[in-house]
Structure 1
């Protein structure tokens, strides 16, 4: 059983993803309630059968420190949908500094974008404006909710409502 369960805070904001076993224990101990069962799946004990959770909500509010998304190559690719932010190709991807390092550009969410090697070489040490290579979309710091979607494994429909209301750009 490798399904994941979306855990909502008491105010319905996405908090984390946990295993079915952990979610079941939280519900069983009355620390949370089941918001949405997984389609037709059930958990069986020796004498009983329970609906398998897909989304649960904690009964008391947990003051969770904001979970930032780590700035890594893979996460930049993910944010940019594995597409070059200049030409849109999905081949030969690398990372480009929008404001080049040579001109004081830093390693931040808003200065790093996915670029193919060809566009990266063509842009060189220029800004997109100077190189006349406009970005397809402005780079932003992604929210934690967006990255929770990666754990969905086919549970997309069951979690969508809870994740879509909570992304901040």
Structure 2
């Protein structure tokens, strides 16, 4: 058990310092770090037939980009500004290709651990899992951070997999009981 509040722990200070450096200066707007299970939804995550929870990246940004480029393409055609539809058409095609043909990343949770970018992070190799929300207020990024002995070892950007509770729920469902005891 931590004898000090989370904000005063070595782990918290180390993670906060890393994000201050990566984002080129102090956050000012937002930095939050909690054990992952504290972000989890009430109900358990839905498992597939193999007993895994699979989360896939959202394609919504690509669909939005396609819609915006289509809008500006049509607007440019109607106004007779032909370079605009050509540029918008190129953006549309790239967004379409990325949305429908690029390999969609996934996170796979099971009783062994988490698979992210084809790397298995075993529950047994860590003693805690945390959700870190960092960045500017309107567009913060979420990270799943695994730690051992008060040191962060793995940072997984989970911003494109839905909200932090979507990621935290399978962590809570599969994590060893000792993860809760370490907080």
Does TM, normalized by the shorter one, top 0.5? no
What is the TM-score of this pair, normalised by structure 1? 0.23
Higher helix share: 2
What is the TM-score of this pair, normalised by structure 2? 0.22
State the structure with bigger RCO (CA 8 A, min sep 6), 1 or 2.
2
